[in-house]
Amino acid sequence: MKIEILTFGIAREICGGRLIHLDMEEGADTERLRQLLAEQFPALSGLAHLSIAVNSEYVTGPVVLRPGDEIAIIPPVSGG
């Protein structure tokens, strides 16, 4: 299945753009997505924390992805 991923902050710079596309096997989950992202963009692994949101909700454990899901990767945010 093809998925689109929105990137923000430093993740956008690491991935080379606001939107990236990945091919994933049917039934893949967010943990598999983390693995694929680390393989394709090793610098993401150097971030202290990387949140994943599916359909505008942060996920904390594995969530099965479906075609058409809105997926975002969000790096740590700093500021005051």
Task: Give tens-digit pLDDT for 20-78.
Answer: 999 999 999 999 999 999 999 999 988 888 899 999 999 999 999 999 999 999 987 76
Q: What class is the 2-74 domain?
A: alpha beta
Q: Where are the domains of the chain?
A: 2-74
Please enumerate in sequence order all residues whose Cβ is within 8 A of that of 64, keeping only pairs 6 or more positions apart, or say none.
Answer: 27, 28, 29
pTM for this entry? 0.86
The whole-angstrom separation of Cα 4 and Cα 67 is 9
